[in-house]
Amino acid sequence: MELQEHTSVAADMLRHFEEKIERGDAIEPKDRMPDGYRKHLIRQISQHAHSEVIGMQPEGNWVTRAPSLRAKQILLAKIQDEGGHGLYLYSAAETLGISRAEMIEQLHAGKAKYSNIFNYPALNWADIGAIGWLVDGAAIVNQVSLQRTSYGPYSRAMVRICKEESFHQRQGYEIMAKMMKGSAEQRDMAQDAMNRWWWPALMMFGPHDSDSPHTGDAFKWKIKRQSNDELRAKFIDKTVQQAEVIGLTIPDKDLKWNEARGHYDHGAINWDEFYRVINGNGPCNQQRMDHHKRVHAEGAWVREAAEAYRIKKEKKLHLS
């Protein structure tokens, strides 16, 4: 009897949740939601938050070497935006019942991931252009689609974040355009950055639809609204033209317009590389994690001091 009641409450909850999703209503933190939905979102939002934060490293690598005051200002402001995105996203994930400290712990334990793209190095100044243009450019395509995701706090975070990301994309493109108008050495740097970032940027959309393991639930729950391949095609279509305008060559000899599909066809993506990097063996995986862990450990005494001070002040307040 008790069990039956329990099951029927759970069934009611599930039906109510599914109806909301069906109607296209947002799910809010206080709403009841299936465990799988909650877990999926925590995984996805925390991964997104960690990506924003880890992504500060390759760009941070050029802050002290930015070649003009304006370039330094734009770069620093961009990295700051990314840190801000990390903050909103950690907060969005916290509404699902996990703390930032736990998320960081999971990152350090290798249980939570971050975007693979940040396991590639930023080697010359044009990489700062390429990251803004291609990496933020790819992220926007994904995130514009996520503005309609079913979880309210996540979708609202995406709306806010997308505005800034498109700014980053334009600024990145501006760096590339400027370098392509510059000396032969600058053009070489720009093309070199293009060659190294193009394929990893395409991989940001994840495996082909035919091999994507999470597709089912994420679609049913309207967390994900468009497939990996659809999003990737959108990115390629808008980016190819932009590259042509400034004279950059896309490093894919099989790239060509397909009139019938209304999209570009592209060459084979190196999925071995994709899985190798995901599994920890990219150029910078070790470096990024070591850096994050070191900074976190070195800052422990500061966080402890702030906490100790807060407690002292609270006690004083109670006494007075």
Partner 1 sequence: MTQQEALYKFALRLGDNALIRSYRLSEWCSNAPILEEDLALTNFALDMIGRAQSLLGYAGEIEGKGRTADDLAYKRNEQLFVNVLMAELPNNDFAYTIARELFLSVYEYYYFTDLAKCDDPTLAAIATKTLKEVKYHMAHSTDWTLRLGDGTEESHARMQDAVNKLWSYAGEFFEADVVDVMLTNALNTPDTPRLLKNWEDHTAAVLKEATLRTPSVPFIQHGGRNGVHTEYMGHILSEMQFLSHAYPDASW
Q: What is the DSSP letter of 114?
A: -
Spatial CB neighbours of 254, under 8 Å, sequence gap ≥ 6:
265, 266, 267, 268
Partner interacting with residue 185 (select from Fe ion, partner 1, none; CB below 5-8 Å by kind): partner 1
Between residues 58 and 282, which has the closer beta carbon with respect to partner 1? 58
Between residues 275 and 309, which has the closer beta carbon with respect to partner 1? 309
Cα separations in angstroms, 40 against 47, 112, 196, 215:
11, 12, 32, 11
Per-residue contact string for residues 233-272; x = within reach of partner 1 by CB under 8 A: ----------------------------------------
Q: Does 302 bind partner 1 (CB under 8 A)?
A: yes
- The residue whose two tokens read 């994900």 is 224
- Binds Fe ion by CB under 5 A, chosen from 21, 44, 46, 82: 82
Between residues 80 and 258, which has the closer beta carbon with respect to partner 1? 80
Q: Does 276 bind partner 1 (CB under 8 A)?
A: no
Q: Does 320 bind partner 1 (CB under 8 A)?
A: no
Q: Which of residues 165-224 bind Fe ion (CB under 5 A)?
A: 165, 168
Per-residue contact string for residues 34-63; x = within reach of partner 1 by CB under 8 A: -------------------x--xx--x--x
Q: Does 288 bind Fe ion (CB under 5 A)?
A: no
Strand-strand pairing, 256-258 and 263-265? antiparallel
Partner interacting with residue 136 (select from Fe ion, partner 1, none; CB below 5-8 Å by kind): Fe ion
Partner interacting with residue 139 (select from Fe ion, partner 1, none; CB below 5-8 Å by kind): Fe ion
Between residues 17 and 198, which has the closer beta carbon with respect to Fe ion? 198
Give the 3-state secondary structure percentages of the chain, helix then strand then coil, rounded to 5: 75, 0, 25
Partner interacting with residue 57 (select from partner 1, Fe ion, none; CB below 5-8 Å by kind): partner 1
- Which token pair is 86? 């990390």
From the list 155, 134, 124, the residue with the least C-alpha distance to 225 is 155
User: With CB under 8 A as the contact rule, which of the stretches 227-235, 250-258, 279-287, 300-308 interacts with partner 1?
Assistant: 300-308
SS3 assignment for 144-194? HHHCCCCEHHHHHHHHHHHHHHHHHHHHHHHHHHHHHCCCHHHHHHHHHHH
SS3 (DSSP) at 257: strand
The Cα–Cα gap between 287 and 176 comes to: 26
Torsional sign, CA 172, 254, 278, 189: negative
By CB under 5 A, name the binding residues for Fe ion.
52, 82, 85, 136, 139, 165, 168
By CB under 8 A, name the binding residues for partner 1.
53, 56-57, 60, 63-65, 67-73, 76-77, 79-80, 83-84, 86-87, 90, 125, 175, 178-179, 182-183, 185-186, 291, 295, 298-306, 308-309, 312
